[in-house]
Structure formats: C-alpha cells, structure tokens
Amino acid sequence: MSLKPHLRKTNHIASRYLIVTLGLMLISGCLSPIALHKAVVSYNRSINEIVAHELLLNIARVRHRHPVKFTAVSSIAATFNFQMSAGATPPLGALTGGQGLAPVFGGSVSENPTITIIPLDGEEFNQRVLTPFSEVKFFQLYQKGTDIGLLIRLMASELRADKTGKQEILQNRPMHGTGYKEFRRQVLHLTALDQSQDLYIQPIVVEQIITLPAKSMESSESVINAMEMGYRWIENGDKGTLIRDVVGRTVISNYEITILSEEERNDLYLYTNTLPENDIFVDIRPGHEGGEYPFRGVIRLRPFLAMLGFLALGITEEVEYLVKKDERSGSVRHNPVKTMDVIETSNTQKNAAFSINYEGKVYSILSGEDPQAVWNREAFSLLNQLYELSVDPTEFARPAPVITISK
C-alpha cells in the first residue's frame, strides 16, 4: 500500500492550519492598534468632559453657597491583553467520516485601566483658584483670537477710571447700577475699536542709558559685562554711553506708543511698573480714533473663584441686563446680555451641551446656533482655558494628565 496519497493529504491539512494560524496572527496585530487608538481618543474625550462637568458643578456649588472642590486627573495607565487561540477539529464532530479538518479559532481583548485622581489643595489650590490672573495670561488669550469684550467681562472685577484727578471705581456687578452700566459701555467701546482695528495693545519700550568714562580699566570691564546683558556701547570722546531697550508693561490704547515723547514714555513706564500684575493700563485719548469717548484707568483682573461667583450670582441673584453702547462708540457685532448664561431648571434640557444635577436642580449650558448660544459655548470654553492657564506648569509636578498604555 502506497503512503504518498496519505502524505499529500497530511501536508494539505498542515498547510491549511498554517494559513489559518498566520491569518489569526495578522488579525491580532490589526486589533492591537485599533484598540489603542479607541482607548486614547476615549480617555481624551472623558478628561475633557470631566473638566467641563466639574466647572459647571462648582458654579452650582457657589450658587448654593457651598464650598468648591477641584480634582485633577494626573495619570492614566491602561494595560491591554490580546489573546488569540487556534485549533482544528473534524467536521461535524467526525460523525460523517469526513477526511478534512475544520479550523477553530477564538480571541479576546481585556483592558485594565488605572486612573489617578488627586484633589487640588494647599498651594496649588491657592495658585489656581484664589490668585488673581496676571495681564500676561489675559494677553495670551487675546493673541489667540478671543473676543476682547468676552475676556474683560469674564476676567475683570472692575475698571478704575481716572476722572479729572479723582478715581472712579466701575465694578463689574449688576447690583452697582450706574457703575456697572458705565463699565459695560467702556468695554463695548474697546470692543468696537478692536473690531475696527483701531485698538493698540503693545508694551512700553524705553531706553535705559548709562554714561561711563571711555578710557579706564574699570569702565572697560563694566562695558564688557553690560554688552553681555544686551547694552550697546557708543563712545564719544572721553565718555561713552551704554544704551539698551527695556520692555515694560503692556498698554491698551487708541494710539501707537511710539508717538509719545521720550519723557511721556518714561513716565508711563515708571507708572505702569508700580501697578499690580493683575492690573492692565487703558488709555483712550482724544485726537485719535475713538477719542470722542475718552477714558483712562486700569482694568483689574480677578481670581478664578471670583469668576465662578460672578457666573453663579448671575443665575438668579444678580442677573445681568442689556446695556447698550455709548452713542459715541462704533458698531459691535454682538452685545450679549449675559457673560455666560447658566440655565437652572428642574429637568434636564434636551438641547444641553453640558449639564449637571445638584441640590435637586439641573444646571446647563445650552447648545444652538443663535448668537447667544454660540457666545455661551465660547465663554464656557474660555472658562476652561482659564482654569488650565491658572498655574504655571513648571510650579507643580503634574502639569497635565499622562496616558500610558502598554500591551
């Protein structure tokens, strides 16, 4: 009896089994990146939703005079286990007497995530929630294209205006009546100038000058050290001058800073350097675009907790109302009644972009395409950015969530 037909059949079965096995290995390799991709996207989406709901929850807490609490997702470690199995069995359980083998394979994917959540407290809570924002953060957001009116209405607590030698405090709170209306009108005036590209936001640059003897060993060493610090050396006979440009605070104005005399720039440089970091100097002068409605003073920025309080009070207690622009101001594209409209209802809203339940009420940010809804979502997005910007990442060990996925 010849064994060749039997060997050919055996080789054929082995080849089929090898092909099935290779196919399973390829399938396993494909499943791995797909699962990882879905995991990273899902974790990213979840973190964003957690921050959004936490912001809304803390607004609701302040609304009820409850203490706020923030947490941070510091890390996510997810381990994926991919298992594939393969085998062969006679068809129909070998009852039919068939000669071939039917492949049997299976697979499973298991995930074991570990998420580290840390509450904000101590110095980090102080930095992120209780410390007023600096003008640097304000201008960072402005340079990204954020509406200047939205920035001021959300971030500013007041505008301290100079009125013929006296200081008038215009508070950004509806309960202050006349002062609040004037605050809103001045913000609208700045918005109109910005939209017509007649608003200048620029730092004050002055020259720092030091005169030294030109020919002495001591002065030579001083000149070398000064030039390493950015000074320029100009020699003039027996004396020389060290000069460098010094950049001061940023100013909001309706004119180019360079048109001011050297003395005016120096005075403005010295004055603005005495201001706290959360003060922004504003100077709208007559004789320039928008000068029909002149004012001069400082915008005072508030801490993050005060922003939450302003939004929470605006739900029912200190509701913002419509304030029209001054007749001397140019046109503005949008003048929303509320800085950010947080809706308080008994039931969940169908068109809510974000919502949270608290103390038997539902607090929502509504979605929609009308100007107020679009403005609300931009304001809520800005609130989220401010929370992320409220601390220098170098000050703490965990500036952002770290996602580690192994398999």
Q: Is the pLDDT of residue 93 over 70?
A: no
- Position 245 scores a pLDDT of 78
- Quick: pLDDT tens for 155-196: 999 999 887 767 899 999 999 999 999 999 999 999 999 999
Is the residue at 318 inside a domain? yes
d(CA 150, CA 381): 11
d(CA 305, CA 244): 41
Same domain, 40 and 65: yes
Same domain, 377 and 274: yes
How many domains are there within the chain?
2
303 near 127, Cβ under 8 Å?
Answer: no
Q: Is the pLDDT of residue 285 over 90?
A: yes
Q: Give the up-direction half-sphere exposure of residue 183: CA atoms within 13 A in the CB hemisphere.
A: 26
Same domain, 139 and 176: yes
- Position 118 scores a pLDDT of 72
d(CA 21, CA 306): 63
Same domain, 265 and 139: yes
What mean pLDDT, rounded, does the chain reach? 81
Is residue 66 classed as helix, strand or coil in its secondary structure? coil
Is the residue at 302 inside a domain? yes
Structure tokens at 50: 């957690």
d(CA 133, CA 331): 29
Same domain, 13 and 149: no
More confident residue, 99 or 253: 253
Same domain, 135 and 243: yes
Of 103, 119, 135, at which residue does a domain stop?
A: 119
Q: Which range has the worst mean pLDDT, 18-32, 82-96, 146-160? A: 18-32
150 near 375, Cβ under 8 Å?
Answer: yes
51 near 28, Cβ under 8 Å?
Answer: no
Containing domain of residue 78, as a range? 4-119
Structure tokens at 35: 């699962």
Same domain, 92 and 141: no
100 near 243, Cβ under 8 Å?
Answer: no
- Position 244 scores a pLDDT of 79
- Quick: pLDDT tens for 95-112: 555 555 566 656 565 666
Q: Which of the listed ranges 86-90, 201-205, 239-243 does the model predict with the highest average pLDDT?
A: 201-205
Is the residue at 98 inside a domain? yes
Residues 6+ apart with CB under 8 A from 115: 73, 75, 76, 77
Same domain, 152 and 264: yes
Same domain, 202 and 93: no
Same domain, 141 and 183: yes
Is the residue at 337 inside a domain? no
Please, which pLDDT band fits residue 29 given cuts at 50, 70 and 90? low
181 near 323, Cβ under 8 Å?
Answer: yes
d(CA 63, CA 143): 32
Q: Is the pLDDT of residue 328 over 50?
A: yes
Same domain, 103 and 50: yes
Q: Residue for token digits 């010295």? A: 270
d(CA 245, CA 193): 29
Structure tokens at 142: 């402005």
Question: Average of pLDDT values for 69-97?
Answer: 63
Q: Which of the listed ranges 119-123, 129-133, 279-283, 364-368 does the model predict with the highest average pLDDT?
A: 279-283
Question: Average of pLDDT values for 26-38?
Answer: 57
281 near 135, Cβ under 8 Å?
Answer: no
Same domain, 206 and 249: yes
More confident residue, 102 or 71: 71
Is the residue at 361 inside a domain? no
d(CA 27, CA 21): 10
Q: Is the dihedral of CA 217, 218, 223, 224 positive or negative?
A: positive
Please, which pLDDT band fits residue 252 given cuts at 50, 70 and 90? very high
